[in-house]
Amino acid sequence: MLSDRKASELISQSLARDLTKEETEEIDKHLAADANSRAFARISRVIQSSLSEVAVMAESGDASIAPAMPMATKQRLTQSLRLAAKRQQEEDRNAGDSSTVDSSTSTLSRGMILASTLLLEGHLTEEQMFEALAGWKPNAGETFGEYLVQQEFIAPEVLQGIETKPGASDRLSNAGVKGEKTLPVGGTLSGTCDLAPLSVLPDATPPASDSRKLVSRFTLIRKLSQGGLGSIWLACDEKLKRTVAIKEMNIDASESTTAWQRFHREAEITGLLEHPHIVPLYQFGSDPQTGQPFYAMRFVGKRTLADAIIEYHEKRQAGDDDALELHRLLSAFIGVCQAIAYAHSRGVIHRDLKPENVALDNFGQVIVLDWGLAK
């Protein structure tokens, strides 16, 4: 004879599975004798019917089953989707592109190209290259190749061999060591960068009298921040009519060989790392007036992850926090992790990772900045 407890278990199970013949017979007897069990079966059936009905209503879009999405949630979601769609478009584009490089062929960058080539081909050690770059003054009218020969870093034949190397002229015309020569482009300090053609940019022109210009293409608008190594400027790319950020080496820092090395290294690493969460480098060059090296990159605004974290905690303390905001912070963190994982896969360690070095642009996109200490 079933107990009421066991009978209730079988009643429950009968809603989700077929009972055996023996179970059916037992429960039939029990239900016939016990009103409480019959009532339990009835209410269980009513509840199940209600849920089943609501499941149908939800599927068909019945508005009476639950509240509509709050307006604030809709606004957040719309913004989030807009951003996500934009990101996805970028990722799709990056995946489909064959990666053309937009870079300056200024004297300095041509020197960097030559340095990389010599390094790749074993004509220079990394230490020699940094020493040479630190000693070379791009605006002194001397090409990097000429400087290397003069300082006996390389023999003239080596330089001539590179200049006349088969295929070099096909890759880069009018960007050579001596102004008209060509160089194979590519090769990084770690030797992992594929050879790729460079687009040729016009040589530097003198700055306008009333507005400071860099390489004729960028007009500096205002200084955004200044660090020990360099300053960040908000600038206008006159050619493409877009706002960019320019990092220019400080004049004081330029006296230091280490600072030059760091600045070059930072530019090179930033250029090497092509990832949606790493700030893209548009151009590397030098100010024809001051000779200070600079590089142009995407302007991502001034808001950092540190700001977002502080804002969230302030809201949280005020009891006004939002789960989606926490989700966004965590998403930003994941973006940082993806960027760092990508950098590590390229053998680069950031070494100065902190919320202040993670920018969140106006659409919440996550960009890891400041690779100046990276190795």
Partner 1 sequence: MKNGRVHGLLLPSRLKWTNSPSVSLADRVELTVLGVIDGICSFPAPHDSQSLHKLAERSVDQVSPPPEKALDPELWVDSYGDYLYRYAFSRLRDANSVEEVVQETFLAGIRYRKQFSGRGSERAWLLGIMKRKIVDAIRLRAKFDRVSTYEDEYDLSNQLFDEKGNWRQGAVPWSATADQNVTSRELWQVVRDCLGHLPPGQADVFVLSVMEEMETDEICREMDITPASFWTRMHRARLGLSKCVGSRWFSDGEGP
Which value, to the nearest 10 degrees, does the dihedral of the CA atoms of residues 126, 130, 135, 140 take? 100
Q: Shortest Cβ distance from residue 346 to partner 1 (Å)?
A: 24
Q: Does 52 bind partner 1 (CB under 8 A)?
A: yes
Among 65, 155, 200, 337, binds partner 1 (CB under 8 A): 65
Based on CB atoms, which residue is closest to partner 1, 53 or 252? Answer: 53
Based on CB atoms, which residue is closest to partner 1, 1 or 318? Answer: 1
Among 46, 140, 251, 334, binds partner 1 (CB under 8 A): 46
Among 20, 29, 33, 74, binds partner 1 (CB under 8 A): 74
Beta bridge partners of 294: 248, 285
Q: Does 337 bind partner 1 (CB under 8 A)?
A: no
Measured in degrees and rounded to the nearest 5, phi and psi for residue 167 equal 95, -20
Among 33, 66, 140, 310, binds partner 1 (CB under 8 A): 66
Among 29, 33, 42, 205, binds partner 1 (CB under 8 A): 42
Burial 340-371 (b: 16+ CB within 10 A, else e): bebbeeeebebeebebebbbbbeebbbbbbbb
Site for partner 1 in 1-40 (CB under 8 A): 3-6, 8-19, 24, 27-28, 31, 34-40
Q: Which residue, 242, 326, 251, 328, is CA-closest to 294? A: 251
Site for partner 1 in 271-330 (CB under 8 A): 323-324, 327
Based on CB atoms, which residue is closest to partner 1, 58 or 140? Answer: 58
Helix (H, G, I), strand (E, B) or coil at 255: helix
Helix (H, G, I), strand (E, B) or coil at 220: strand
Please work out the total of residues on this chain that contact partner 1, with binding judged by CB under 8 A. 69
**Distant-in-sequence contacts of 265-270, Cβ < 8 A, 24+ apart:** 265/189, 265/372, 265/374, 266/229, 266/370, 266/371, 266/372, 266/374, 267/293, 267/295, 268/112, 268/188, 268/189, 269/348, 269/371, 269/374, 270/295, 270/297, 270/371
Site for partner 1 in 78-107 (CB under 8 A): 78, 80-82, 84-85, 88
* Contact residues for partner 1, defined by CB under 8 A: 3-6, 8-19, 24, 27-28, 31, 34-56, 58-70, 73-74, 77-78, 80-82, 84-85, 88, 323-324, 327
